[in-house]
Chains A and B, each alone.
Chain A
Amino acid sequence: MNQAQIEIQLVAAIVAAACALPGCFLVLRRMALISDAISHTVLLGIVLAFMVVGDLHSPLLLIGAAAVGVLTVFLIEALLRTGRVKEDAAIALVFPALFSIGIILISQNFRGVHLDTDVVLLGELAFAPFSRVEVLGASLPRGVAVMGAVLLVNTILLLVFYKELKVATFDRALAASLGFAPALLTYGLTASVSVTAVGAFEYVGSVLVVALMIAPPAAAYLLTNRLSWMLGLSVLIAVASALIGYWVARAFNLNLAGTMATIAGLCFMVALVFAPERGLLSRASLRRRRRARFAVEMLVMHLSRHENTEHEETENTAAHLTDDLMWTPAFAQATVRHASGQGLLVEADGVLRLTGPGRELAVQVEAR
């Protein structure tokens, strides 16, 4: 690895971590698509701020973008308050309008300035090492400095307001009654998302911002029930997605941001399928186990009902189960095997007879 490669990965990793932190709260508060809206509208903020200061690298651009990000959420909520449109429509109406104004302003005012829709969607991570700044005498890529600062601010805000954010996220009413001003926290979160998005989009574009803000937290959400773990896992998954994405993109000579977004999505898919307890596989096996247990209980009940009656010889046979309980022969056999494996019954002369534990279970089930 040469220095440029290390620096690109460093920028990508920092961007990923900075996105994942506020992303957790977006996912938990069901505001995930706000990140999509904001990552587009910050363009307008950048354009407006650029028209004022005339420098694409001025920190004022961050402030302008953050202001427009907050404005986006404010407009969405204002539209919602009128009661005339639903939340999904409010989002879908506000952000394309603001984004359009941004694009029109670009087309009219700065042709030739390096600001176009390609950059907005894709970013240019590969150029990150070329733009450098001096920090404490060391020459750092601008991306490391800027996104490092954003990550630092996000982390500090998270640590300072951890309790408030947690309560406001999981119990809005309680947060309000405790005097935490949930609306203020929402706008604070929005501002944080905006600053992160605008800082990041120069490098990774709006698509990857959305991917990194949503996919890793959503994956972490499938892996844990604890907020602190979710935050940590999100950062881990996001950074891993960025780094794996970098190497995959390099190996196949693909677009960096697109590949990282793909890997982030794949990470989510892995969590979706394999997560313990909440993943598709473990849910399917849980369902299968429950079904088998229920079937065994049904069987035991059936046997106990007909035990010592004149019909015992005909009712309590494996073959009869397919008629009586509407089971397929294979399912009936499997259930009988399960039950005898658990020592609940024995098969003698083709008749199923309950054992002591089997009768006990039948009594228990009946009592339920």
Chain B
Amino acid sequence: MDIWGAISQLFTDYTLRNVALGALALGAVSGIVSVYAVLRRQSLMGDVMSHAALPGIVIAFLITGARAPLPLFIGALVAGLIGLGLMHVITTQTRVKVDSAQGVVLAAFFGFGLALLSWALRQNNAQHAGINHFLFGQAAATVEGDVILIASVGAAALAVVTLFWKEFKLVSFDPGYARTQGMRVGLMDALMTALLIVVVTVGLQTVGVVLMSAMVVAPGAAARQWTNRFGPMMLLASAFGALAGLIGALISSSKAGLPTGPVIVLAASVIVLLSLLFAPERGLVWDRLRRRRMDKRFHEDAALEALAVMASHHGSAGHAHSLAAVEAYAGPGARRALRALEGRGLAQRSGSGRWALTAEGEAAARPLIERGRVMEVDGVPLDVRAQGVQA
């Protein structure tokens, strides 16, 4: 089945529709929280929290004995917040740096969760179905209830974000200033992180623990390339996340055995890559082109100036010089620059392969020479090269 087949099936196949809708909704929600993660330089928090949530999930599972979503969320949230508090204590009270604190919490909590899980699975042999999916994700098993769950969590997240729009924005960009305005920065911090934990927990069963960490970063990182404004960035990130989810779900359904989570993450990674390369203004490709254009212009101006200055030493504007002379003056890019000038009708080649200015070239060189004169300090021209040629 190809991708178009998958798209047409989207409207007929119940399972695929659920998977695609679930991935799309999850992507959109992840996109929202990813903006805060990227701006607050807490991109790795998604990774830490998706791991740290595990013991809470397992304990909730042990207590309730079932895979009911709400207790698992609460468990994940509590475990995540404990991890967060621990990291706070470690980084503010001791000299251990934030990366180590994150690493310890991530690995120790997750390890504890795994140990508990191995115990839980033996205790509740009959009912353990589904708990494994929290680790590795199983998007293909998305049912309508999951879609509704993701959508309602998304709506709740949206409500929180709207409610605290101004506060979250200020704390993300300038926590110090936010504090001087009497804002409860610590509380807002915890709230944003709680939001992240909730989204991560919902996502775990779709794309799995490792890959969920990418989903709460990639959309925001991609959106950041396209705009400098907070609101549009949020919208874009959400759209990118949804797009990655949809594309990932479609591609993975088009080929047997293709796991959905990794494909979604790759789709998100491709969106980031394209954004890095081609986003207007910040795009690396435009950057490179701009630099090349400036380089070219610089070399052409240098060659033009060289021809004009050398000609003036000979007292005749049309005096021709060898390529070597121009290179000595304008640097090794001179050959290509002279050809470009010839193309622009500013320079011409005489019969013996020597170069001279045309009348237009002479006119074009005049402002450059003027500019050179301006660059004098105490009557001494800054252009030392011209002095050298004269001598």
- Binary contact track B258-281/A, C-beta < 8 Å → 1, others 0: 110111011001001000100000
B245 to chain A, nearest CB (A): 14
- Binary contact track B212-231/A, C-beta < 8 Å → 1, others 0: 01100110110011000000
B265/A261 in contact, CB under 8 A? no
A134: Cβ under 8 A from any B Cβ: no
Known: A97-B214, A99-B262. 15 other contacts (CB 8 A): A36-B103, A36-B107, A79-B276, A89-B38, A96-B210, A103-B262, A104-B266, A107-B258, A117-B136, A215-B107, A215-B108, A218-B104, A221-B95, A254-B115, A261-B107
Name B113's closest neighbour in chain A (CB-CB).
A258
Please judge, given known A-B contacts A100-B262, A104-B266, A255-B118, whether A36 and B108 are in contact too, CB under 8 Å.
no
List chain A residues, Cβ under 8 A from B135: 117, 121
List chain A residues, Cβ under 8 A from B112: 258, 261-262, 265
A339: Cβ under 8 A from any B Cβ: no
A88/B44 in contact, CB under 8 A? yes
A92/B94 in contact, CB under 8 A? no
B109: Cβ under 8 A from any A Cβ: yes
Please judge, given known A-B contacts A103-B259, A107-B257, A107-B258, whether A92 and B44 are in contact too, CB under 8 Å.
yes
State A93–B268 Cα separation when bound (angstroms).
9
CB contacts under 8 Å to B, within A239-298, are 249, 252-255, 257-262, 264-266, 268, 272, 278-280, 283
A84: Cβ under 8 A from any B Cβ: yes
- Binary contact track A203-240/B, C-beta < 8 Å → 1, others 0: 00001101101110110011000000000000000000
List chain A residues, Cβ under 8 A from B106: 36, 210
A86/B43 in contact, CB under 8 A? yes
State A283–B266 Cα separation when bound (angstroms).
46
B115/A255 in contact, CB under 8 A? yes
CB contacts under 8 Å to A, within B277-302, are 282, 284
B210/A40 in contact, CB under 8 A? yes
The size of the chain A interface, using a CB distance under 8 A, is 64
Stretch at the interface among A24-32, A139-147, A322-330: A24-32
List chain B residues, Cβ under 8 A from A309: none
B275 to chain A, nearest CB (A): 9
Q: List 30 A-B contacts (CB under 8 A).
A: A30-B99, A30-B100, A32-B99, A36-B47, A82-B276, A85-B221, A88-B43, A89-B217, A89-B221, A92-B44, A93-B214, A97-B265, A99-B210, A99-B211, A99-B262, A103-B262, A117-B208, A207-B107, A211-B104, A213-B103, A214-B100, A215-B108, A221-B100, A258-B111, A258-B113, A258-B118, A261-B110, A261-B111, A262-B108, A262-B115
CB contacts under 8 Å to B, within A187-207, are 207
Per a CB cutoff under 8 Å, which of A85, A87, A207, A278 touches B110? A207
List chain B residues, Cβ under 8 A from A260: 111
Closest 5 CB pairs of A and B: A265-B108, A261-B111, A258-B114, A96-B214, A211-B107
Question: What's the dominant secondary structure at chain A's contact region?
Answer: helix
List chain B residues, Cβ under 8 A from A255: 114-115, 117-118
List chain B residues, Cβ under 8 A from A82: 276, 284
B361: Cβ under 8 A from any A Cβ: no
List chain B residues, Cβ under 8 A from A62: none
Residues of B within 8 A of A (CB): 38, 41-44, 46-47, 51, 89-90, 93-97, 99-119, 122, 135-136, 208, 210-211, 213-214, 217-218, 220-221, 224-225, 255, 257-259, 261-263, 265-266, 269, 272, 276, 282, 284
B218 to chain A, nearest CB (A): 6
Name A211's closest neighbour in chain B (CB-CB).
B107
List chain A residues, Cβ under 8 A from B213: 92, 96
A35/B103 in contact, CB under 8 A? yes
A301: Cβ under 8 A from any B Cβ: no
Please judge, given known A-B contacts A249-B115, A258-B118, whether A278 and B94 are in contact too, CB under 8 Å.
yes
State A99–B212 Cα separation when bound (angstroms).
12
A272/B211 in contact, CB under 8 A? no
A177: Cβ under 8 A from any B Cβ: no
A93/B269 in contact, CB under 8 A? yes
